[in-house]
Amino acid sequence: MPKRKGLVINDRQLDLCDDLLQKLKEVSGSTFLALISTSGQPITTASDEYHPETLSLASLAASSFAATQQLARILDENEFTLLFHEGRALNLHVTQVTEQVLLIVTFGRETQVGKVRLYTQRAVEVLRQIFEVDEDEETPAMDADFESSAGRAIDDLFQDA
Amino acid sequence: MPLINFAAREINYKIVYYGCGLCGKTTNIQFIHRKINPDARGKLVSIATEEERTLYFDFLPLTLGKVKGMQTRFHLYTVPGQSYYNASRKLVLQGVDGIIFVADSQITRLDENVESYLNLWDNLLGQGDDLSKLAFVIQMNKRDLTETFSVEDLNELLNHTDSPVVPASAVTGEGVFETLKIVCKQVIAKTA
Ligand SMILES: Nc1nc2c(ncn2[C@@H]2O[C@H](COP(=O)(O)OP(=O)(O)O)[C@@H](O)[C@H]2O)c(=O)[nH]1
Ligand SMILES: [Mg+2]
């Protein structure tokens, strides 16, 4: 039976990712960056003034990306590695980092698509290494304490109204 | 496979409402959105077709709050029920931690329930999940209607996994939070 792999991010990985996203933002001239899981959950973001709603964004970007993969299959293409939307003031760029991680980059007219693509591709190679080191590790168990505390919180939050 | 971000002290679980078209999945999520403490809920996102049927999914993030220092979230999704949307269903199932199978109790919906139930297991096996790690609850919905199967009959038909069963009426909200509560606790127990 195959294992259900969890995605676990440790301090070291998050620090490395945050540094890298910050650098990528500066050199590429992009406005907002996010790492998300392919199941639609945000991992971390980098931005200055522009703060889109990250939970919705992650869920929609992950499903759009997954849909383009299915499109590729139907068209007999091995994979589309990139999802790109061009808007009037803003462009959206989604790339696969690992099996479980995607990188979202948004940028405006201050920069060029080619520049963003080039730097993003380089960053993805580094990001891949950051995640691949630890992706095979066992998911550390949340202890029994967590389970009973969470149970109480669930009872409180989901009371019948 | 929850996303555990030890660095940011966050843990996210993904819960999917599954079931045939019009069985009440979206109604469940809308009720939760209306009734839950507004501080605990994020934005409700729906991708629907022009006829207002769910095309991809509905999405509602809920925040349980800090548990043992970990910000704990449940991300609720529904799938489109119509059989021709199987590609979208597979996408939504990626990385799922817990499933609520919503059965439509109406006698006329028997075939649709069974088809959806079989389709669920096909898709789960297809994505290579270890099913013993998956939380699973069955909700018998539309108990307020009259031309319905008994809970016992539905149980025999649809509950091959001996999973918890909750009778419900999503329009009135009966059983809605009860179902969610059970699946959330199971999700945490299964990944602990
Ligand atoms: N009588 C009754 N109607 C319901 C119940 N739950 C949902 N419905 C109705 O069934 C229809 C389809 O519900 P919806 O949530 O959109 O189904 P979905 O396709 O599973 O998302 C709507 O008209 C709902 O009002 C229920 O418990 N009782
Ligand atoms: Mg729906």
Please tell me the predicted confidence (pLDDT) of residue A64.
87
Residue B82 has pLDDT above 80, yes or no: no
Taking CB atoms and an 8 Å cut-off, how many pairs form between chains A and B?
158
CB spacing of A39 vs B1 below 8 angstroms:
yes
Ligand 1: which residue has its CA nearest to atom 2? B142
- The answer to whether the CB of B23 is under 6 A from ligand 1 is yes
CATH classification of the domain holding A123: 3.30.450.30
CB B44 within 8 A of CB B30: yes
Which tens digits make up the pLDDT trace of B3-61? 888 888 899 999 999 999 999 999 999 999 999 999 999 999 887 655 556 667 889 99
Residue of chain B whose Cα is closest to the Cα of A101: B3
Q: What are phi and psi of A73, to 5 degrees?
A: -60, -45
Question: Which of A10-24, B4-18, B69-83, B170-184: highest mean pLDDT?
Answer: B170-184
Q: Is residue A121 part of a domain?
A: yes
A147/B189 touch (CB, cutoff 8 Å), yes or no:
yes
Diameter of chain B measured on Cα atoms: 53
Assign residue B69 a region: left if phi > 0, alpha if psi is -120 to 50, beta otherwise? left
Structural domain includes residue A157 = no
Interface predicted TM-score of the whole assembly (ipTM), two decimals: 0.81
All structural domains of chain B, each given as residue ranges with its CATH number in brackets, are 3-191 (3.40.50.300)
Q: Which domain does A43 fall in, by range?
A: 11-132
Residue of A nearest to B35 (CA): A161
Which pLDDT value is given to residue A138?
Answer: 54
Selected residues 44-63 of chain A with any CB under 8 Å from a CB in chain B = 44, 53, 55-56, 59-60, 63
Looking at the structure of chain A, the number of domains it has is 1
Q: Is the dihedral of CA A124, A130, A132, A136 positive or negative?
A: negative
Contact state of B188 with A142 under an 8 Å Cβ cutoff: yes
* pLDDT tens per residue, range A47-98: 988 888 898 899 889 888 888 887 888 898 888 888 899 999 999 999 999 9
Is A151 a member of any domain? no
Residues A95-122 pLDDT 10s:
999 988 999 999 998 899 999 999 999 9
